[in-house]
Chain A
């Protein structure tokens, strides 16, 4: 009896030791279910290894998460107004959402892509496309703020965007919907032959990232679905999938699925660039907005551009070819070496990999299979690099791990499939929950992927989370891809809808992340750099308040002499110069959002008081132990009142020493 007891005790102690003392050696745990939890556990206070920039889809924004934890850090407002951050509400950022159609407060953001140098992620900017009112935005990764938005003329459904070339020479915007060019009043059923698909090449200044439309290639009226740049050996080329080569204008689900093969358009942009640099192309009148946010004035300006350079494909022979690709290809992905161009035919039973080397040989050998609108169609058999047979149903997108493997999502069979480049054999498949769209490996569409995780972004969530009424959360799933087989580690909710994402090692970005804006660099037109500079100025019925804020008071905090019918501008400067000390401000009855002002920054909102009275304003972002004391009053008198304009702090006129 005693021996049995002893051994029982021994077992208890041993197991207690393993359970209690944290699982430092995961091998000893084998296939314990806690293994996946460990791999995504980032201890309190620790940082994630990767940033993931996940598109916000119909929210119009870009969300920043950490991987492997799946924690949400920030939603960067891009194409939609955001009352939390006053984006599109304050006077400084309203111009960011200006377009040729006026102020557009929303868009549908799809495909973030991080800038590259020599084919590797450099972490300077992330670009993202607005799908609905065609725009490309640039987010600065020192401030994580949207600093530039350029509208794309002659385009509609800006979907095969916003992918960068390997030195960020260009960010590309391709039209999904072909439209009449130039836009005009014409019968819809005369689409065929009359509509055009614009592929837009936007140059990016290597110094400051300034965007400018270099040229627009006016392609036949197909739907241009997705794209990716050539890299390494295929640098200088860009590849776009097309569907609806039938040029149907109604019931596309049937009428655009007639052709056995559509095309991947291969564009030699270097050749076209050369042509354009020698004066090629035609300048055409147009109208589009170019919006730039200046970090020093803390203010955006919107400029309407009136001209764009149009290139007709016929004028640059040898620059454009069509690669026949089965059944309405969606994803268009290029492997890290630049050799294989993967076309995912949505309705095809197999996955097609074109070979860049063979493509060049076929061009050289004139292995053509006719032409479409004068553009040569290369012979399918002569360019085919390989085929992944029976990989799944409904292939969409492919990313790469840099170790010779590719990972493709299958929407209909709801899975991620790992296969080998070159041998085309399927190695592993794992289900997704449910109906996966894009997937992302950090750097997975560059020369240097960081093949540790793959992130699957799902279209349907159903029963995976607690229900929240008819609308349920959007979601993503993280898989470990370091082994031969993939391992599902984590489900996490995302803002809607996660289309594509871009991931990058945190170490490339985090040291450069800005902590404050320097007050001495603030060039805002209405800045007050110290309390001595704060003041109130009347100009007709406009009242400009130059206000400052610091823990925990405003200057001035008592203002009298404002009248009903005035347009009161609150220009508010945060005087703090310390990390993570923003202040907010809001006043009762303002027909706009609060302001949320970072240290050293100035922002403006307009208040048009409609009622006589004494109205409070206060700090909206909990800033210190005396945050609740951070408040003030504006006295509003009837129109024409004799109450003089005064502005004080602690009973003294502001600026008193």
Chain B
């Protein structure tokens, strides 16, 4: 009887060991749980290609370029001074880090899946932030334009 039990458990172990995908999911789960801790939005750089931005004086030429890009690529969902499909972006640079803003523009799919703040926004607005295939310099120009949108 004892032998039978041993054999049975050996078989079970063998069969189990064939599919070990379950393990990975487990580790991912804990990582996500860690992220769930509340983060100060002005410390949250988001997830994406932009890790560090240093801001200087506002560059007027860059603002003009950013505004043009914004009007073509973003205004279908974002209006300034009004909640539309997406949030009102007035004063955005006072609420989010420069890095977070650019990563949300450049890497929205991953952001709305993994970044807590972005996940909350998706839950609130329901339409996912669209990836408009902008380049990093283009996103930087849009950020410069955002810096001029101060809350009055």
* CB of B113 to closest CB in A, whole Å: 14
Min CB gap B131→A, angstroms: 4
* In the bound complex, CA of A531 to CA of B73 (Å): 9
Bound state CA distance, A22 and B15, in angstroms?
Answer: 11
- Give the docked Cα–Cα distance between A532 and B14 (Å): 63
Which of B33-41, B52-60, B122-130 participates in binding chain A?
B122-130
Q: Does B18 contact A (CB under 8 A)?
A: yes
CA distance A215 to B79 in the complex (A): 59
- Residues in B with CB closer than 8 Å to A548 are 76
> Which B residues lie within 8 Å of A17 (CB)?
14
Inter-chain CA distance A12–B76, complex, in Å, is 64
CA distance A595 to B73 in the complex (A): 22
Given contacts A575-B76, A650-B84, contact A551 B127 (CB under 8 A): yes
Cβ-based interface call for A470 (8 A)? no
B132 contacts A by Cβ under 8 Å:
yes
Contact of A13 among B11, B72, B84 (CB under 8 A): B11
Determine if A20 and B18 form an interchain contact, defined as CB atoms under 8 angstroms apart: yes
Q: Are B10 and A531 in contact (CB under 8 A)?
A: no
How far is B144's CA from A125's CA once the two chains are assembled, in angstroms?
43
Which residues of chain B from 112 to 144 have any CB-CB distance to chain A below 8 Å in the complex? 126-128, 130-134
User: Which residue of the partner chain B has the closest CB to A578?
Assistant: B131
Give the size range of B's interface with the partner.
20 to 34
Contact among A5, A13, A530, A576 with B130 in the assembled complex (CB-CB below 8 Å): A576
Beyond A20-B15, A624-B127, A625-B127, is A550–B84 a contact (Cβ under 8 Å)?
Answer: no
Tell me the residues in window 10-25 of chain B with beta carbons closer than 8 Å to chain A beta carbons: 10-11, 14-15, 18
User: Is A249 an interface residue, CB under 8 A from the partner?
Assistant: no
Are A530 and B84 in touch, CB under 8 angstroms? no
Q: In the complex the two chains form, is A531's CB within 8 Å of B75's CB? A: yes
Instruction: Indicate whether A298 reaches chain B with its CB closer than 8 angstroms.
Output: no
Q: How far is the CB of B80 from chain A (nearest CB, A)?
A: 6
Alpha-carbon distance A529/B79, docked complex (angstroms): 16
* Other-chain contact of B7, A13, A20, A625 (Cβ < 8 Å): A13
Cβ–Cβ contact B133 & A532, under 8 A: no
Q: With A22-B18, A575-B76, A656-B79 given, can you name 4 additional A-B contacts, CB distance below 8 Å?
A: A9-B7, A13-B14, A20-B14, A555-B76
**27 sampled A-B residue pairs with Cβ under 8 A:** A9-B7, A12-B7, A16-B14, A17-B14, A20-B15, A20-B18, A519-B72, A530-B72, A531-B75, A532-B71, A551-B128, A555-B76, A575-B76, A576-B130, A576-B132, A577-B132, A577-B133, A578-B132, A578-B133, A624-B127, A624-B128, A625-B128, A626-B126, A650-B84, A656-B79, A657-B71, A657-B79
The interface of chain B, by Cβ under 8 A from chain A, is: 3, 7, 10-11, 14-15, 18, 71-73, 75-77, 79-80, 84-85, 126-128, 130-134
